[in-house]
Amino acid sequence: MQLGTDLLALAYLVSATLFILGLKGLTHPASARRGNYYAMAGMILAVVATLLNPAMKSYSFIIAGVVIGAVIGTVIALKIKMTAMPQLVALLHSFVGLTAVLVAVGTYYDRAVLGSPDPVLMTELFIGAFIGAITFTGSLVAFGKLQALISGKPLVFRGQHLVNLVVSLVAVACGIEFVMHDNLLALFIMLALALLLGVLLIVPIGGADMPVVVSMLNSYSGWAATATGFTLENNLLIITGALVGFSGAILSYIMSRAMNRSIVSIILGGFGSGGGSDQAVAVAADRRVKTASVEDAVFLMANASKVIIAPGYGMAVAQAQHALKELMDLLESKGVNIRFAIHPVAGRMPGHMNVLLAEADVPYDRVFEMDEINPEFSTADVVIVVGANDVTNPAAKSEKTSPIYGMPILDVYKARQVFFIKRSMSPGYSGVDNLLFYQDNCALIFGDAKKVCENMAAELRSV
């Protein structure tokens, strides 16, 4: 059975509509599950419609690819931990980029047999290969940083921006040479330079910017898919690629604004590259850090009227979200008002904390974004910070020489008492010392976040 041209176009239109509904559903945790169902239905329809395309001549390689991909995808989905989701997303972005490169090269060889491809197709091949190559290596570097295979600290060198500019211009010149004169060597030189550019663009970006980097690479992968859609003359791939490209770009812009940073400066690097001013470090060294026990924290929480919990990547690493949910239930049973404060760039990818809390069945009406919750910290009796380092650092407001200066933070320092659950005194992912540790109203509870929260719950049950 094969679909006619009109039916195929209709199926692709319905699929694109389902993808748009899926994106809309993902804008809120309450509708995220429904959004995923819409997107899954759209993808199933798109795959089936493509297989029934009259242009299909053979199914052997497609079936083999689908089976192998399904097995690998299923194994990964069953074994992957939520803490590893950001690096998995980055790795999957690299696959999209590599696919765009392979499709561009393969299409060139396929069309070259029939004669020189037309300039429009050659331009599409150049753009698809260029964006795809940058996405491929850039995503691999992001994966390496998130997986701690390479240092999360930025690699900055003198003349870095000039080198990037020269590499970009030479790559574009080679692409133009390829389009104008059908020069295959120019294509491969361009690919090599684009692969290098992907590395050069990501290595100078600090760990604090990883959420923006992931969403930015998501945008790149969308544009690579769009270029591939033009190459393959597939309208659905063009539409879905554009959806991913625009949504990733918009999300990157929103998150960069949440950090009070120009998205251009983030792409070019230079943020998260220092350890704070010498003055801040000197002040921190001169002041003693308070520590507290689980019993101390539980006593104050049990007698509080409002407790705010600010989770960060430390919660994700320790998988402490379920222990926090139990802690929330116990405190609410004692009449304590509990709220969760979420910073837009907490964790390693957009929405990381929201997903983890939803996994633990924390009600949506207990979870508040930064702009909503910040006015309430001054009225909170206790704030529990669970590994949210950079996004709670007052240096962002007080230290003009700090790399994170100007970045909006959770105003946890305004609470009557702050308990910071942390494994060690090491700075956050950006490498900036957290001045919150040295405030009179802050005490550190050292230990694994999950174990500390479980001990808090056990102590609460005995109170």
Strand 367-369 vs strand 306-311: parallel, antiparallel, or unpaired?
unpaired
- Looking at the structure, tell me whether residues 59 and 35 fall in a common domain: yes
- Looking at the structure, tell me whether residues 43 and 92 fall in a common domain: no
Domain boundary among 250, 268, 286: 268
- Count the Cβ atoms, other than its own, within 10 Å of residue 257: 13
Residue 97 and residue 129: Cα distance in Å, rounded? 8
Residue 263 in tokens = 């998205």
Q: What is the pLDDT of residue 270?
A: 46
- Looking at the structure, tell me whether residues 56 and 90 fall in a common domain: no
Residue 232 in tokens = 């393959």
- Looking at the structure, tell me whether residues 113 and 160 fall in a common domain: yes
- Looking at the structure, tell me whether residues 118 and 212 fall in a common domain: yes
- Looking at the structure, tell me whether residues 72 and 86 fall in a common domain: no
CATH of the domain at 329: 3.40.50.1220
Residue 167 and residue 89: Cα distance in Å, rounded? 27
Q: φ, ψ for residue 158 (rounded to 5)?
A: -65, 135
Q: What is the pLDDT of residue 37?
A: 94
Closest CA to 247 of 350, 109, 140: 350
Q: Alpha helix locations (H) across 158-293?
A: 160-181, 184-202, 210-232, 235-258, 263-268, 278-286
- Looking at the structure, tell me whether residues 325 and 413 fall in a common domain: yes
Q: What is the per-residue DSSP string for 312-371?
A: -HHHHHHT-HHHHHHHHHHHHHTT-EEEEEE-TT-SSSTTHHHHHHHHTT--GGGEEEHH
Q: φ, ψ for residue 386 (rounded to 5)?
A: -110, 85
Domain-located, residue 273: no
Residue 40 in tokens = 């899954």
- Looking at the structure, tell me whether residues 97 and 180 fall in a common domain: yes
- Whether the Cβ atoms of residue 101 and residue 130 lie closer than 8 Å to each other: no
Q: Which domain holds residue 214?
A: 82-268
pTM above 0.75, yes or no: no
Distances (CA, A) of 161 to 191, 264, 274: 20, 12, 18
Q: φ, ψ for residue 154 (rounded to 5)?
A: -70, 145
Identified catalytic residue from 390, 411, 433, 440:
390
Residue 305 and residue 359: Cα distance in Å, rounded? 26
Q: In this structure, what DSSP letter does residue 291 have?
A: B
Residue 153 in tokens = 């600290």
Q: How confident is the prediction along the chain (463 residues), in pLDDT tens digits per residue?
A: 556 778 888 999 999 999 999 988 887 777 888 999 999 999 999 988 988 888 788 888 888 988 998 899 889 888 887 667 778 888 888 999 999 999 999 999 888 767 777 888 899 999 999 999 999 999 999 888 888 788 767 777 788 888 989 999 999 999 999 999 889 999 999 999 999 999 998 888 766 567 778 888 888 889 988 988 888 888 888 999 999 999 888 888 777 766 666 667 666 654 444 334 344 334 434 557 888 899 999 999 999 999 999 999 889 888 899 999 999 999 999 999 999 999 987 877 777 888 889 889 999 889 999 999 999 999 999 999 998 888 899 988 888 777 777 888 999 999 999 999 988 777 665 667 788 998 889 999 988 999 999 999 999 988 7
Domain boundary among 268, 298, 322: 268
Residue 356: partners with Cβ closer than 8 Å, 6 or more residues away: 82, 311, 315, 316, 321, 347
Q: What is the pLDDT of residue 3?
A: 67
Residue 114 and residue 112: Cα distance in Å, rounded? 5
Number of domains in the chain: 3
Residue 235 in tokens = 């309208």
Domain-located, residue 219: yes
Q: What is the pLDDT of residue 161?
A: 83
Q: What is the pLDDT of residue 169?
A: 95
Q: What's the number of CA atoms in the CB half-sphere (13 Å) around residue 132?
A: 25
- Looking at the structure, tell me whether residues 142 and 258 fall in a common domain: yes
- Count the Cβ atoms, other than its own, within 10 Å of residue 38: 20
- Looking at the structure, tell me whether residues 264 and 306 fall in a common domain: no
Q: Order of strands, edge to edge, in the sheet holding 442-446?
A: 367-369, 337-342, 306-311, 382-386, 417-422, 442-446
- Looking at the structure, tell me whether residues 57 and 163 fall in a common domain: no
Q: What is the pLDDT of residue 431?
A: 67
Closest CA to 427 of 375, 379, 389: 389
Residue 122 and residue 124: Cα distance in Å, rounded? 5
Q: What is the pLDDT of residue 258?
A: 65
Domain-located, residue 133: yes
Domain boundary among 49, 79, 109: 79
- Looking at the structure, tell me whether residues 232 and 149 fall in a common domain: yes
Domain-located, residue 369: yes
Distances (CA, A) of 333 to 280, 305, 362, 449: 42, 12, 15, 22
Please report, as a single letter, which amino acid is at residue 119.
P
Please report, as a single letter, which amino acid is at residue 192.
A
Could you confirm whether 390 is annotated as catalytic?
Answer: yes
- Whether the Cβ atoms of residue 441 and residue 381 lie closer than 8 Å to each other: no
Domain-located, residue 8: yes
